[in-house]
Amino acid sequence: MKILITGAKGQLGTQIICILKSMKSELGSISSAYKNADIVGVDIDELDIANLKAAREYITNVKPDIIINSAAYTHVDDCETNEDIAFKANTIGPRNLAIVSEELGAKLIHISTDYVFAGDGTKPYREYDLPNPKSVYGSTKYLGEEYVKQFSSKYFIVRTAWLYGYYGNNFVKTIMKAAKEKGKLDVVNDQRGNPTNAEDLCFHLLKLALTEEYGIYHCTGKGECSWYDFACKIVEYANINCIVNPTTSDKINRAAKRPLFSSLDNMMLRCTVGDEMRHWEDALKIFIQNVK
């Protein structure tokens, strides 16, 4: 088995490779089918997936059985002013991977986001709910999904949210650092979603990859909270002496509109391969114990 991972130097790509090499995650061991897998990790400095000719040449040479696309332009506010960059990474790149994976008969796992939804609902979004993105980031990711569906017949589109992991920068690490340095933080309390540990997401991506349960999936930590709730738990579990105050989105000047309610329901997981995602508080507690 040969697995190609794009965005291999990002927090998710790095985590997937580590789990594949160790054959285990915090949720347990992964399938023995991965034991002798040939893992090829690639990032933007080696391959620009937005270049179809380059992508076709590189991937055809690798001949992967599975492609996991964790490459994306995720700077949400910067996407508003760098639309072409966002479009290439989040839309054209996935399209190219879908085209080439279909030519090779490879499975494609494409990572997407809760930002494809408007965020004006009151109950968790399910896979059959219609996307209606309100930002350039969300719009480019949504069109990327559409191209994957259009050009690939063996795809898993996996939407996740509020992701944090052991590698790279993320909200948990930012809050821990800021809490230690400042002792007082203001965090928005009017945006709700699902904190997701990268360990849990990777475990499920690898579980899906061995099946033919193709389609769109939501894969987030169980339970929901606000960013303020999330920050409070981070400070509590890290045992940092810091006051966290709630604030509202309108008091923070940001270029991109954030979804106020983007909680996702892992319905497809439950109904197919099984939803073993941890509750967000449990996963966060283990994460902080390990990073400390």
* pLDDT tens digits for range 210-241: 999 999 999 999 999 999 999 999 999 999 99
**13 token code pair:** 């790509």
Q: Please state the pTM of the whole predicted model.
A: 0.97
Q: With a cut of 80, say whether residue 292 has pLDDT above it.
A: no
Expressed in angstroms, the distance from the first to the final Cα of the chain is: 36
Residue 250 has pLDDT above 90, yes or no: no
Token digits of residue 163:
């992701």
Q: Residue 137 and residue 145: Cα distance in Å, rounded?
A: 12
β-pairing, 163-164 with 155-160? unpaired
Residue 49: φ, ψ to 5° = -65, -15
The confidence band for 83, taking pLDDT boundaries of 50, 70 and 90, is very high
The verdict on residue 185 lying in a domain is no
**High-pLDDT (> 70) share of the chain, %:** 100
Q: How far apart are CA 225 and CA 171, in angstroms?
A: 14
- Matching residue, tokens 């920068």: 169
For residue 251, pLDDT over 90 is answered with no
91 pLDDT tier (thresholds 50, 70, 90): very high
Cα 118–chain centre separation: 18
CATH number at residue 155: 3.40.50.720
Q: Which of 58, 115, 137, 147 is catalytic?
A: 137
Lowest-confidence pick of 99-113, 170-184, 243-257: 243-257
Q: Which residues pair with 289 in a beta bridge?
A: none
Please report which confidence band the pLDDT of residue 55 belongs to, taking 50, 70 and 90 as the band edges: very high
230 is a domain residue: no
The pLDDT of residue 253 is above 90: no
Position 4 pLDDT exceeds 90 = yes
As a whole number, the mean pLDDT across the chain is 97
Q: What is the mean predicted confidence (pLDDT) over 120-142?
A: 96
**Paired tokens of 288:** 């902080």
Report the C-alpha dihedral over residues 101, 103, 104, 106, rounded to 10 degrees: 30
179 in any annotated domain: no
Full domain range(s) for residue 127: 2-170+195-223+261-279
Instruction: List the single range of 131-135, 166-170, 242-246, 251-255 with lowest mean pLDDT.
Output: 251-255
> What per-residue confidence (pLDDT) applies to 114?
97
Q: What is the pLDDT of residue 255?
A: 85
69 part of a folded domain: yes
Quote the number of domains for the chain.
1
Label residue 277 by pLDDT band (50, 70, 90). Answer: very high
Q: Is residue 24 part of a domain?
A: yes
Between CA 291 and CA 65, with CA 15 as vertex, the angle to 5 degrees is 170
One-letter amino acid for residue 188 of the chain: V
Q: Is the pLDDT of residue 158 over 90?
A: yes
DSSP H or E segment with residue 150: helix 136-151
Q: Is residue 217 among the annotated active site residues?
A: no
Give a yes or no: residue 205 inside a domain: yes
Per-residue pLDDT at 141 exceeds 80: yes
In a domain, 254, yes or no: no
183 occurs within a structural domain: no
Q: For position 254, what pLDDT does the model report?
A: 85
At 82 the pLDDT is: 97
Tokens, residue 124:
């968790």
**pLDDT score for 96:** 98
Q: For residues 277 and 279, give the distance between their C-alpha atoms in angstroms, rounded to a whole number.
A: 7
pLDDT of residue 257: 85
Q: Which helix (H) or strand (E) holds 205?
A: helix 198-209
Contact 224, 192 (CB under 8 A): yes
Percentage of the residues of the chain whose pLDDT score is greater than 90: 96
